[in-house]
Amino acid sequence: MAGSIYRRPIAFAVLATAVILVGSIVTMAYPMLRPEMHPKVDGLKPLGALELAGRDLYQREGCVNCHTQTIRPLRSEVVRYRGNRAQEPSGQYSLAGEFAYDHPFLWGSKRTGPDLAFEGWLKSAAWHSAHFADPQAVVPRSNMPRYAFLKDAKLDGVELQAHMRALRVVGVPYTDADLAAAPGAVAGKTELDGLVAYVLSLGKAVERGGGGAGGVDLEAPNPVAGKPEAIRKGFELFAANGCNACHGDEAEGQEEVAPSLVDDAFGGEKGDLPDAAYFAMIKGGSDAKKALGRAGLPDGGMQAFGSELSEEDIWSIVAWLRAKQAHEAGEGEHEREHR
Q: Tell me which stretch binds other proteins (CB under 8 A): 58-66, 224-232, 246-254, 277-285.
A: 58-66
Site string for other proteins, 81-100 (x = CB under 8 A): -------------xxx-xxx
Q: Tell me which stretch binds other proteins (CB under 8 A): 66-74, 202-210, 290-298, 309-317.
A: 66-74
Q: Are strands 269-270 and 265-266 parallel, antiparallel or unpaired?
A: antiparallel
Using CA atoms, how far residue 85 sits from 62, 93, 126, 306, 316, in Å, is: 30, 11, 22, 8, 21
DSSP calls for 312-339: HHHHHHHHHHHHHHHHHHHHHHHHHHH-
Distance in Å, CB of 136 to other proteins, minimum: 7
Q: By CB under 8 A, name the one of 47, 49, 68, 128 that touches other proteins.
A: 68
CB of 286 within 8 A of CB of 275? no
Q: Is 174 in the site for other proteins (CB under 8 A)?
A: no
Using CA atoms, how far residue 240 sits from 40, 182, 237, in Å, is: 35, 42, 5
Residue 155 phi, psi dihedral angles, 5° rounding = -80, 150
d(CA 240, CA 248) in angstroms, rounded, equals 13
The burial of 229, by beta-carbon neighbours within 10 Å (0-12 exposed, 13-18 middle, 19 or more buried), is given as exposed
Q: Compute the residue count for the chain.
A: 339
Distance in Å, CB of 214 to other proteins, minimum: 25
Distance in Å, CB of 234 to other proteins, minimum: 16
Of 166, 174, 153, the C-alpha closest to 54 is 153
Distance in Å, CB of 130 to other proteins, minimum: 16
Compare residues 23 and 298 and give the one whose CB is closer to other proteins: 23
Compare residues 64 and 277 and give the one whose CB is closer to other proteins: 64
Distance in Å, CB of 156 to other proteins, minimum: 10
Distance in Å, CB of 292 to other proteins, minimum: 28
Q: By CB under 8 A, name the one of 42, 43, 141, 338 that touches other proteins.
A: 141
Chain residues 266-325 in contact with other proteins, contact rule CB under 8 A: none
Compare residues 232 and 294 and give the one whose CB is closer to other proteins: 232
Site string for other proteins, 14-53 (x = CB under 8 A): --xx-xxxxxx-xxx--xx-x-xxxx--------------
- Number of residues in contact with other proteins, rule: CB under 8 A? 90
Quote the Cα angle for 148-199-102, to 5°: 125
3-state secondary structure of 254: strand
Distance in Å, CB of 338 to other proteins, minimum: 37
Q: What is the DSSP letter of 233?
A: H
Q: What is the DSSP letter of 99?
A: G
Q: By CB under 8 A, name the one of 45, 88, 89, 148 that touches other proteins.
A: 148
Chain residues 215-274 in contact with other proteins, contact rule CB under 8 A: 240-242, 245
Taking the CA atoms of the chain, what radius of gyration do you get in angstroms? 25
Compare residues 75 and 290 and give the one whose CB is closer to other proteins: 75
Chain residues 96-135 in contact with other proteins, contact rule CB under 8 A: 96, 98-114, 135
CB of 299 within 8 A of CB of 293? no
Q: By CB under 8 A, name the one of 45, 88, 89, 136 that touches other proteins.
A: 136
